[in-house]
Amino acid sequence: MSASLSRMVMAVAIASLGPHRYGWKLAMEAELEEVMAEGQGLPFATGCLLTAWRELPAHVEGRLVLASYTLVLGLILPAAALLLAGVFAGYPYLLAYGTQATSSFAGSQMLMPWLNAGNAAAMPALTLIVLLRIASDVLAAWFAAERDWTRTAAAQRFGAATTLTLATSAGLVLLDATCALLPALTLVLDVLAVALLRRLYIAAEQDHSVGQTT
Amino acid sequence: MIALLLALSEEAPGWTHGYELMKVTGLKSGSLYPLLMRMTDQGLVEAEWREPIVMGRPPRHAYRLTAQGLALARGATNDLPLPRLPALPA
């Protein structure tokens, strides 16, 4: 158990070290076998993992990994969490402000009872749309971290489609599309974050190819 | 770094493995390997692959000081403060 855990930690450490430290990856891996024979594998592997993480800002590949995880964990996933919190909080942003205002202006709470019942019936469907949008955000974050730009774009297109569906449905059912403002705003943030990340990777690849040709 | 320099200089011109260096210096792998990497980058330490003593294990990295590293180690030894001796009776 301890040996397999040590090897797992070492595998993460090795994956985190840049290609310019290839020899050191092999050195640490070989040393682990010796250290495990004396039962000190896990502390050794943990130290190697810390070494690898400390080395991340020292090479281009590591800086890109740090940038992608910062954007994914600091922007895209919090945006998805915000939408999920909205769902759990009972849709504070899915209230039909327009209908309330109309009722209030007319001085009657029962002016459009059929619309209120309609609102209630539409909520599960709207919830489902928001949940699909959250799922698309999580997938986009996952694919962006893996640098799979085709799938990231596909997930974001799906996210844009759900946001548009939410705005249209809410506009038709609740006579108010403001509930789609937050999903739309987070979608813009996600798209900007992924575009920035993609530009960083393209710039790094160009630098790398220029460095190889010169 | 000084502890590592001294440990390597004591073994010079012989080669030492990472785990042995950890034992001698008391450094953890999270401190030892960054130091070894920096010192190798600066040309103070050289590394070489050594065949394993135990069959079936992978080749190990062994380390030793370069001439530049040895000079630095000597300088560091000279700069070390002398151990405090007990005061002589008057």
**ipTM rounded to 2 decimals:** 0.78
At A133, give phi and psi (nearest 5°).
-65, -40
Nearest by Cα to B34 from A71, A157, A56: A56
- Indicate if the pLDDT at residue B59 is higher than 90: no
B15 part of contact set with chain A, CB < 8 Å: no
Tokens of A9: 């930690």
Give the C-alpha separation, A112 to A174, whole Å: 11
B6 part of contact set with chain A, CB < 8 Å: no
Shortest distance, CA B76 to any CA of chain A (angstroms): 25
pLDDT of the residue at A118 = 62
pLDDT of the residue at A82 = 87
Whether the CB-CB separation of A56 and A65 falls below 8 Å is answered with: yes
Residues B62-84 as b or e (16 or more Cβ within 10 Å = b) = bbbbbeebbebbeeeeeeeeeee
- Indicate if the pLDDT at residue A175 is higher than 90: no
pLDDT in tens, B19-54: 999 988 999 999 999 999 999 989 999 998 988 777
pLDDT of the residue at A214 = 47
Whether the CB-CB separation of A66 and B54 falls below 8 Å is answered with: no
Please tell me the least confidently modeled range out of A81-90, A99-108, A145-154: A99-108
According to DSSP, residue B55 is labeled: T
- Interface contact flag, B32 A47, Cβ < 8 Å: yes
Q: Can you give the residue ranges of every domain in chain A?
A: 2-58, 60-213
Q: Cα A182 to chain center, whole Å?
A: 16
A39 part of contact set with chain B, CB < 8 Å: no
A·B CB contacts under 8 A: 63
Residue of A nearest to B28 (CA): A47
Question: Which domains occur in chain B, in start order?
Answer: 2-79 (1.10.10.10)
Length of chain B as a residue count: 90
Shortest distance, CA B52 to any CA of chain A (angstroms): 9
A31 part of contact set with chain B, CB < 8 Å: yes
Give the C-alpha separation, A20 to A177, whole Å: 52
pLDDT of the residue at A151 = 94
Higher pLDDT, A103 or A33: A33
pLDDT of the residue at A92 = 46
- Interface contact flag, B60 A51, Cβ < 8 Å: no
Average pLDDT score over chain A: 80
pLDDT of the residue at A108 = 44
Please tell me the least confidently modeled range out of A111-115, A127-131, A189-193: A111-115
B57 part of contact set with chain A, CB < 8 Å: yes
- Interface contact flag, B28 A47, Cβ < 8 Å: yes
Residue B19: which of A26, A31, A55 has the nearest Cβ?
Answer: A31
pLDDT in tens, A135-170: 999 999 989 888 889 999 999 999 999 999 988 888
